[in-house]
């Protein structure tokens, strides 16, 4: 089983939100229902007069130790054996939002229309067709990349500023300072 992970170079992110648009479009996520599976968050850091901003794209990191899966009382959250991604079964979900309360990365989103939880699927449907995840395809700077986890887990850093400590959940994401090619 090949598992996958994200590579994010925060210095290359220009806050264009193309990744957000691509995700919403491909996954047909409605507007106005409070759901953004991939989102660019901008934070200010430092002390005046040396203040800077950090734009960081984020989504579900399909953690090795997924707290959302453990918190779900009806077992609607499960791991695909084909690729190790964490998914939500819409038929089983009761919309209790327990998964959102336990996810330190804000990945599970409550859909105001369906009254159920949803989140990034790591575009498993696209990858099964040999395509890249939608969010990666539109990133104009290469700030957002992905690859097989066994090839990227030792590259870059496991955390960055304003990122929840990864020690217990073990998210499949690495933060890089300089771009480098990835074999998919």
Mean pLDDT, the chain cut into blocks of 10 residues (184 residues total): 90 93 94 92 86 89 97 97 95 97 96 96 96 96 94 90 89 76 50
Give the start-to-end residue ranges of the domains of the chain.
4-175
As its CATH architecture, domain 4-175 has 2-Layer Sandwich (3.30)
Reference 119, options 128, 130, 110; nearest CA is 110
Reference 3, options 75, 69, 89, 61; nearest CA is 61
Instruction: Return the pLDDT at 50.
Output: 87
Query: Do 55 and 14 form a contact (C-beta atoms < 8 A)?
Result: yes
């Amino acid at each position: 089983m090949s598992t996958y992970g994200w590579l994010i170079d925060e210095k290359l992110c220009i806050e264009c939100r193309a990744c957000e648009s691509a995700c919403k479009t491909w996954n047909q996520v409605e507007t106005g229902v409070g759901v953004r599976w991939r989102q660019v968050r901008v934070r200010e850091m430092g002390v005046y007069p040396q203040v800077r901003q950090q734009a960081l794209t984020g989504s579900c990191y399909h953690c090795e130790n997924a707290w959302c899966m453990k918190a779900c009382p009806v077992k609607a959250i499960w791991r695909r054996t084909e690729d190790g991604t964490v998914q939500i079964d819409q038929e089983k979900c009761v919309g209790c939002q327990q998964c959102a309360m336990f996810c330190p990365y804000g990945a599970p989103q409550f859909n105001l229309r369906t009254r159920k939880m949803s989140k990034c699927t790591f575009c498993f449907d696209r990858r099964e067709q040999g395509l890249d995840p939608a969010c990666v395809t539109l990133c104009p700077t290469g700030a957002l990349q992905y690859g097989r986890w066994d090839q990227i887990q030792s590259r870059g850093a496991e955390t960055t500023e304003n990122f929840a400590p990864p020690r217990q959940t073990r998210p499949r994401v690495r933060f890089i300072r300089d771009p480098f090619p990835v074999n998919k």
